[in-house]
Amino acid sequence: MLKSDYLLNLNEKQQEAVLHLDGPLLIVAGAGSGKTKVLTSRIAHIIRSHKAFSSQILAVTFTNKAAKEMQIRVAKLLGKGAMGLPWLGTFHSISAKILRKHAQAVGLKSNFTIIDQDDQVRLIKNICKGENIDVKKISPKYILAIIDKWKNKGFYPEDVILKKRETLEKNFLNIYKIYQQKLIDLNSADFSDLILHSVKIFKNYSDISNIYSKKFKYILVDEYQDTNFIQSEWLKYLANQNMNLCCVGDDDQSIYSWRGAEIKNFLEFDKTYQNTKIIRLEKNYRSTQNILNVASRLIENNQNRVGKTLYTNQEEGEPITLDCFRNVKDEAIDISSTIENYKKKNSLNEIAILVRAIFQTREFEERFLKVGIPYRIIGGIKFYERAEIKDCIAYLRCINQPMDDLSFERIINVPKRSIGDTTIKNISEFAKKSSFSMEVAAKKLIELNKIKPKTKVGLSSLLILLEKWRNDIKKKINHNKLLQIVLDESGYSEMLKNKKDLENENRLENIKELLNAMKEFDNLESFLEHVALATSLDQDWESEKVNLMTLHASKGLEFNIVYLPGWEEGLFPHQKSIEEKGESGLEEERRLAYVGITRAKKIAKISFSMNRFYQGDWMDSIASRFVDELPDEFIKKNNSFKEDKEDDFEFNQDVDFENEIRSPGWLRYQKKLK
């Protein structure tokens, strides 16, 4: 019997995964092993072999992009006249489809509205106002994240059980109760409700559950390692009758626990579904063998994994290089220099720099702007365009130039000073009419008693502070110190520190990095000029660009050349991840390192610095523990400097620098030695 055309380009294990149709199947698909090809070929095989009609196949992805790509690929395999896949989509889109038919079972009408995040925030704000909760201190987005966390665990308000010490969550739970009732009253659902309500229907109405579980003869799930509890429950109900559930993923690339993903869904799949067949796709079509060897040896240090060993038929390739630098500036200079060499034979689009924290991009952006290397930030915003950085710059520009109306308008109510849009509009119109700057106009309107008493207090305090800060400059206060004073006295620091917000940690790190950047300039004027030039440079080249992104944003991507800077204890693995999650946090950080390395097709370069600006000071750092876990036989160590002119620097050497500030990673390492 001749093999079907969709099987011809598959290796032995891929074919096995396509042809094994009966019972639960877990496909452990290593990085670059062709999992999408296997999934689409499997769907084509089910239809071609008349095992099921296209309407009897449920295929679930995490993104609309992935669903669309899968739809196109299947259509291409099946050829002309192929039927579409009506039940191919994301968890949310398929749940919405089911919920429309059975909305009454959860108190909704079939024409219910799915509200977006802006609507959610607005609703939470209104609830907080009614409950006398200050949204200046607790971000509505943070409250929504807690509610979403509960929903991901399958909890309605009545299901949430709080511990005694969770006093803040008690307020959130009350908000959740009101929020959920408001949604019902408005005939609305948020995105998490789509799955939560569907599971509730399946649980309470077995007749409805049976309709769908009988209907779907075959169920396929992509990126199964990223599923959360409620998604796992949803699948259990739908797979209940036929049990032909095929889940594809890579436990070594499970890096989204902060979004609710539960790796145990993957690790315990064979316990959840009896008689599970496990097939490992270990042949990699992306990277050289050296890259795979390093990635495999590193991830083997994790205890909680299914286990696999990647291999390739490609060349052995270059060893992964490991560079040690005196500081982050030297690191950025060296990387930019090697990029200049690589771009002679490689497109800049095929070069990526992957960082653990977004603030790390600043040093590279500065260097690239200086030497003229075009770049793009993937999944983020360029450093000087980030909101908190623009706020800081606006304050400094106002101090430096009282006529800067744009900057004044930006900071006038940041942080909140009870200055509304109407007041700002009145100040602006009066300024234009009188040919004043907005700052002068604001003073005049206060003198004329044209500002409301409550608003007057906030506006007056800002004007007084601006004059005070200008006097600070006259007193020769360092511009770096000046910004710290501004952040403290304006209330901006307090706003970020006290406000419960998911993004605040990143914002604080970015501001600390800004303070670091300012130290490189002699005065405030030269720094502001630098920022103006950096933000005005035409970076919208049609040509190629180097890709800068976080390790999290890099998942699913691939590049010829990958740089992995900042492999230092405290930064990577991240201090917070270890403190909050212990060993599980460390293992997820290691999986993140694995993801980073396996993005590289030909060349991977890891580096760390001996000194890094941290918490407002330069600190000694040590190499990440992950550096010690890299196999020497596949690594080339390039010491970029020498401590003495004769002796090479040794990794993790214990040097006694007196009166130096130590990073958390350094301190933890010293404790370990004792």
Q: At what angle do helices 91-101 and 229-238 cross, to 10 degrees?
A: 60
pLDDT tens readout for residues 543-587: 789 999 999 999 999 999 999 999 999 999 998 899 989 999 999
Closest CA to 298 of 630, 19, 657: 630
Closest CA to 620 of 654, 574, 576, 579: 654
pLDDT tens readout for residues 109-126: 999 999 988 899 999 999
Write down the pLDDT at residue 668.
52
**Model confidence at 136: pLDDT above 90:** no
* Residue 584 to residue 600: CA distance in whole angstroms: 26
**Model confidence at 161: pLDDT above 70:** yes
Write down the pLDDT at residue 171.
82
Which of 80-84, 459-463, 504-508 reaches the highest mean pLDDT?
Answer: 459-463
Q: Quick check: is 163 catalytic?
A: no
Cβ neighbours, 10 Å, residue 395: 24
Q: Quick check: is 215 catalytic?
A: no
Contact 318, 291 (CB under 8 A): no
* Residue 525 to residue 619: CA distance in whole angstroms: 28
* Residue 501 to residue 485: CA distance in whole angstroms: 23
Report DSSP state, residue 156. -
Report DSSP state, residue 61. E
Residues 6+ apart with CB under 8 A from 210: 240, 241
* 370 or 105, greater pLDDT: 105
Write down the pLDDT at residue 539.
52
What is the rounded average pLDDT of the residues 135-150?
Answer: 88
Contact 323, 605 (CB under 8 A): yes
* Residue 284 to residue 13: CA distance in whole angstroms: 12
Least confident of 110-114, 442-446, 652-656: 652-656
Farthest-apart Cα atoms in the chain, separation: 94
Write down the pLDDT at residue 81.
62
The model's pTM is 0.84
Q: How confident is the model at residue 652 (pLDDT cuts 50, 70, 90)?
A: very low
For residue 560, give the amino acid letter. Answer: N
**Model confidence at 244: pLDDT above 60:** yes
Least confident of 2-16, 83-97, 468-482, 607-621: 607-621
Q: Which two tokens stand for residue 23?
A: 């019972």
What is the rounded average pLDDT of the residues 509-518?
Answer: 90
What is the rounded average pLDDT of the residues 486-513?
Answer: 84
pLDDT tens readout for residues 614-643: 655 667 888 999 999 999 999 998 865 444
* Residue 665 to residue 237: CA distance in whole angstroms: 46
* Residue 31 to residue 18: CA distance in whole angstroms: 18
Write down the pLDDT at residue 121.
92
Contact 155, 199 (CB under 8 A): no
Extract long-range pairs of 332-338: CB within 8 Å, 24+ residues apart: 332/363, 332/364, 332/366, 332/367, 332/565, 333/367, 334/607, 334/640, 335/364, 335/367, 335/563, 335/565, 335/605, 335/607, 336/364, 336/367, 336/368, 336/371, 336/373, 338/605
Closest CA to 425 of 444, 412, 414, 407: 412
Write down the pLDDT at residue 653.
36
Cβ neighbours, 10 Å, residue 422: 10
Write down the pLDDT at residue 288.
97
* Residue 5 to residue 48: CA distance in whole angstroms: 11
**Model confidence at 522: pLDDT above 80:** yes
What is the rounded average pLDDT of the residues 247-270?
Answer: 94
Write down the pLDDT at residue 52.
95
Antiparallel, parallel or unpaired: β 375-377 and 546-550: parallel
pLDDT tens readout for residues 346-368: 999 999 999 999 999 999 999 99
Looking at the chain, the whole-number percentage of residues with pLDDT higher than 90 is: 71
What is the rounded average pLDDT of the residues 255-275?
Answer: 94
Write down the pLDDT at residue 17.
96
* Residue 67 to residue 60: CA distance in whole angstroms: 8
Write down the pLDDT at residue 540.
53
Q: Quick check: is 645 catalytic?
A: no
Write down the pLDDT at residue 660.
44
Among the listed residues 190, 193, 222, 363, the single catalytic one is: 222
Mapping DSSP to helix (H, G, I), strand (E, B) and coil, where does residue 653 land?
A: coil
Establish how many alpha carbons lie within 13 A of residue 182's alpha carbon, considering only the half-sphere containing its beta carbon. 18
Among the listed residues 61, 253, 288, 312, the single catalytic one is: 253
Contact 562, 599 (CB under 8 A): yes
**Model confidence at 674: pLDDT above 70:** no
Instruction: Tell me the average pLDDT of the chain.
Output: 89
SS3 content of the chain, % helix, strand, coil (to 5): 55, 15, 35
* Residue 425 to residue 270: CA distance in whole angstroms: 63
* Residue 651 to residue 635: CA distance in whole angstroms: 13
Rounded to 5 degrees, φ, ψ at 635 are -120, 140
Residues 6+ apart with CB under 8 A from 569: 621, 622, 623, 624, 625, 663, 664, 665, 666, 668, 669
Q: How confident is the model at residue 266 (pLDDT cuts 50, 70, 90)?
A: very high
Q: Quick check: is 363 catalytic?
A: no
Among the listed residues 151, 305, 362, 599, the single catalytic one is: 599
* Residue 593 to residue 630: CA distance in whole angstroms: 11
Write down the pLDDT at residue 646.
37
What is the rounded average pLDDT of the residues 501-520?
Answer: 84
Report DSSP state, residue 500. B
Q: How confident is the model at residue 20 (pLDDT cuts 50, 70, 90)?
A: very high
What is the rounded average pLDDT of the residues 132-161?
Answer: 90
Residues 6+ apart with CB under 8 A from 82: 47, 74, 75
CB-based burial label for 655 (10 Å; 0-12, 13-18, 19+): exposed
Closest CA to 666 of 615, 630, 632: 615
Among the listed residues 190, 193, 223, 587, the single catalytic one is: 223
Write down the pLDDT at residue 169.
79
Q: Quick check: is 334 catalytic?
A: no
Write down the pLDDT at residue 137.
77
DSSP 214-266: HH-SEEEESSGGG--HHHHHHHHHHTTTT--EEEEE-GGG---GGGT--THHH
Q: H helices of 435-553, where?
A: 438-447, 453-474, 479-489, 492-498, 504-518, 524-536
Looking at the chain, the whole-number percentage of residues with pLDDT higher than 70 is: 91
Q: How confident is the model at residue 138 (pLDDT cuts 50, 70, 90)?
A: confident
Contact 372, 644 (CB under 8 A): no
**129 membership: H or E segment, kind and range:** helix 117-130
Contact 313, 287 (CB under 8 A): no
24 prior amide bond cis, ω within 30: no
Among the listed residues 35, 151, 410, 601, the single catalytic one is: 35
**Model confidence at 286: pLDDT above 90:** yes
* Residue 16 to residue 18: CA distance in whole angstroms: 5
**396 membership: H or E segment, kind and range:** helix 387-400
pLDDT tens readout for residues 178-205: 999 999 999 999 999 999 999 999 999 9
**Model confidence at 424: pLDDT above 80:** yes
Q: Quick check: is 125 catalytic?
A: no
Mapping DSSP to helix (H, G, I), strand (E, B) and coil, where does residue 352 land?
A: strand
**Model confidence at 321: pLDDT above 80:** yes
